[in-house]
Amino acid sequence: MLSIIRTLWDVFLHAFRKRVTIQYPEQKAYLSARYRGRIILSRDPEGGERCVACYLCAVACPVDCIALQATEDSTGRRYPEFFRINFSRCIFCGYCEEACPTYAIQLTPDIEMGEYSRQNMVYEKEHLLISGPGKYPDYNFWRVAGVKIGGKDKGQAEREAPPTDLRSLLP
């Protein structure tokens, strides 16, 4: 019985505490760099598109809101022909970022993307692609992959021996 009265009193005293509410939008909250907000596509340190259109983000997406089509440039470098995210379906779970083998797709601390028309929530590649490397400044998938692309021949990736000379008779 006393504890109930004590509780009532304690709760009543909260009336004089400081408010924890942040008065958005006049005040903004601090969102960490790892916050799962608007999704972007980043570029590698050389400025090339990081996305290699492997479809892993699309398949990891629990709401299936990512659609893309792979294509290749004349040197064999693969990239998405189109890359579409339907943010009106996105749940910002970050699975796409976890699935991405090239750090191309990243979630950012931007959350202000409300629209009056759902159609405006559909982002194409030109809306998604940013000019920098995002959270991972150093990684370049093509430097570790074995395939040959423009500017990187066979055997020039990290930890690769030069191409085998098939005519050598040496054991």
Partner 1 sequence: MATVYIDDKPYTADPAQNMLFTSLTLGFNLPYFCWHPAMGSVGACRQCAVKQFRDENDTRGKLVMACMTPAADGTRIAIHDPDATKFRAGVIEGLMTNHPHDCPVCDEGGECHLQDMTVMTGHDYRRYPYDKRTFRNQYLGPFVNQEMNRCIQCYRCVRFYREYAGGRDFNSFALRDLVFFGRHKDGVLENEFSGNLVEVCPTGVFTDATLKHHYTRKWDLQFAPSICTHCGLGCNTSPGERYGMLRRIVNRYNGEVNGYFLCDRGRYGYECVNSPQRIRQPLLRREGVAQPVSRAEALRAARELLAGKQNVIGIGSPRASLEANFALRTLVGPDHFFAGMADDEHRLLTKMIQVLRSTPARTPSLREIEQCDAVLVLGEDPTNFAPRLALALRQSVRQQPFAATDKMRIPRWLDHAVREAVQDDKGPLFIASTHATRLDDIAARTFRAAPTDIARLGFAVARALDTSAPATSMSGEAVALAAQIAQALKTAHRPLIIAGGGLNSESVIEAAANVARALDTVGKEARLSFTVPECNSMGLALMGAAPLSAAFAAVKDADAVIVLENDLGRHMPQPALREFFERAFHVIALDCLTNATTERAELVLPAGTFAESDGTLVSSEGRAQRFFQVFVPSGDIQESWRWLCDLGALRENSEMADWKELDDVIIALSNAIPALAGIVNAAPFSGLRLAGEKVPREPHRYSGRTAMHANINVSEPKPPDDPDSPLSFSMEGFPDQPPSALIPFFWTPGWNSIQSTNFYQKEIAGPLRGGDPGARLIESGASDGSGYFIRVPQAFAPREGEWLVVPAYHIFGSDEQSLHSAAIAEVAPKPYIAMNPEDAVLLALRPESLAEVKVDGSSYRVQVRVRPDMPKGIAALLVGVPPVVGVHLPAWGTLQPAQLPVEGGPERAA
Partner 2 sequence: MISPYPAVTLIAVLFGALTIAGGLVWAERRLLALWQDRYGPNRVGPFGLMQTLADMIKLFFKEDWVPPFADKWVFIMAPAIVMFTVLMSFVVVPFAPGIIISDLNIAVLFFLGMSSLGVYSIVLAGWASDNKYALLGGMRAAAQMLSYEVFMGLSLMGTVLLAGSFDLVDIVNAQRHMWFVVPQFLGFVLFMIAGIAETRRLPFDLPESESELVAGFHSEYSGMKFGMFFVGEYIGILLVSSMITVLFFGGWRGPVLPPIVWYFIKTCFFLGFFILLRAALPRPRFDQLMAWGWKLMLPLSLANLLVTGAVKLAFFH
Write the DSSP string, 49-100.
B-----SHHHHH-TT--EEEEEEE-TTS-EEEEEEEEETTT-----HHHHH-
Place of tokens 């395939």: 147
Select from 86, 84, 60, 82 the least CA-distant residue to 71: 82
58 interacts with partner 1 by CB under 8 A: yes
Task: Compute φ and ψ for 67, nearest 5 degrees.
Answer: -130, 140
**Interactions with partner 1, residue window 78-97 (CB under 8 A):** 78, 84-86, 88-89
Q: Which is nearer to partner 1, 22 or 147 (CB)?
A: 147
Restricting to residues 96-115, which ones interact with partner 1 according to CB under 8 A? Answer: 101-102
Lay out the site mask for partner 2 across 3-22 (x = CB under 8 A, - = otherwise).
-x--xx-xxx-xx-xxxxx-
Least distance CB 25 / partner 2 (angstroms): 11
Q: Which residues bind partner 2 (CB under 8 A)?
A: 4, 7-8, 10-12, 14-15, 17-21, 23
